[in-house]
Amino acid sequence: ESQLDFDSLDARAGLVNVFRDLGDLSVWARYGYTRLADTSGDELFTDHGIEVGVFKPFPLHRDHFLYLGWLSDFSLEGDPEYARRDEHSLVTGYRYTPVDRVDISLYYRFAVLDYQSSSRTDLNHDTGLAIDFRVNDHATLRASVSYQLNDSDLAGADYENLGAGGALGLLIRF
């Protein structure tokens, strides 16, 4: 077991509006909660935030498209205080649907991480691949792998990370 082993919980809830007359431009706002704990369950970090963003697809064919998006995540309350940050990111990617119910996405994300309790600023690069399987209209299973490179102006805060995981998503439409 490594000191870098931890459990992560992320929950999001919000509203999305798709503007069909603007080429399916999506705009959203949502509340987000993050909790990191060590493998024994002791809490390492929690955060509550408000996220806002815009997403624009560029169709290439019926089965695939390119996309561009922007997201800002404003931390409202976090513990420990020194780890709180606002995050502003641009993302671009490619999505392909080889068969009904399966989507494959390749993406690149550039983010500026602005820490609230100090003058620290990190530049974060994230490249990844995700495969989604839509179980039905409300549930999706995801497998993903990603590589992150972080460049910080704080000595010793640069890092590289290779991660893989899975997720179950639930979509409620009203």
pLDDT in tens, 112-125: 999 988 889 999 99
Residue 4 pLDDT exceeds 80: no
Q: Distance between CA atoms of 148 and 160, rounded to whole angstroms? A: 6
Q: Is the pTM of this model over 0.85?
A: no
Cβ pair 136, 108 in contact under 8 A: no
Segment 50-109, tens digit of pLDDT: 999 999 999 999 999 999 999 999 999 988 888 889 999 999 999 999 999 999 999 999
Q: Check residue 138 and report its DSSP letter.
A: S
Segment 13-63, tens digit of pLDDT: 999 999 999 999 999 999 999 999 988 888 888 999 999 999 999 999 999
The pLDDT, as a whole number, for residue 105 is 96
The pLDDT, as a whole number, for residue 47 is 93
Segment 119-156, tens digit of pLDDT: 899 999 999 999 999 988 888 899 999 999 999 999 99
The pLDDT, as a whole number, for residue 81 is 85
Cβ pair 140, 132 in contact under 8 A: yes
What Å distances lie between residue 12 and 33, 103, 157, 171, CA to CA? Answer: 6, 21, 27, 11
Region 152-173: mean pLDDT is: 86
Q: Distance between CA atoms of 80 and 38, rounded to whole angstroms? A: 15
Give the number of other Cβ atoms within 10 Å of residue 32's Cβ.
18
